[in-house]
Amino acid sequence: MKPSYWVSVLFLTLIVNLIQDKTSNVCRLETKYDRVADTTVVRCDLVELRDVPARLTIQAVATYRGTEPNETTKFWLQLSGFITDASRRTQPVFQEATMITLSTETTRLEVPLSDYHNDFFELNRLLAESARAEISRNDLRKLLDARSLKCKWGDSEIKFSDASLSSLKSFISRQVFYADIR
């Protein structure tokens, strides 16, 4: 076969992959089942920003007993901040933040943060902070109706893209309210 044929095939494959990436949801599910605890944890990466003062990531997380979503499902947002080129003297950015604020076009939710911790990794010179915000089923129903979503953690404001919001809604529908639909 001619080299131009393979170049054309490669080019078409690249275009198809780019189109699929643009149209697919942002969320990539990671599911882990623990047989000993009979618990499943499902994670979905929603947002990653590389802005100052820290690189921020937000994950949607659901846990439930067994292998299928059910009435025991708990949902929370896992918030993480990373400061590179840090030293032991670098001050955590989010240590004082006790709430996360979620704002839609009609609703403002203030959700308390729990499980805050920070770690300094000397080898990588990285200060990592994380916290979680468990969101009730009633508040999750409000998020399902949202057309836009902003999140504020400390002094950092994050606007969810349309794709991230769509992924979040899909995740909530499938992982939290799946048992209600059955």
pLDDT digits (tens, 9 = 90+) for 133-180: 999 999 999 999 999 999 999 888 889 999 999 999 999 999 988 755
Within a domain: 80: yes
Measured from the Cβ of residue 4, the count of other Cβ atoms closer than 10 Å reads: 8
Within a domain: 17: no
Confidence of residue 23 (pLDDT cuts 50, 70, 90): very low
pLDDT digits (tens, 9 = 90+) for 83-123: 988 999 999 999 999 999 999 999 999 999 999 999 999 99
- Indicate the residue type of 54: A
Within a domain: 100: yes
Domain range spanning residue 85?
A: 24-181
Question: The whole model's pTM is what?
Answer: 0.77
Number of domains forming the structure of the chain: 1
Within a domain: 2: no
Separation CA 94–CA 140 (nearest Å): 24
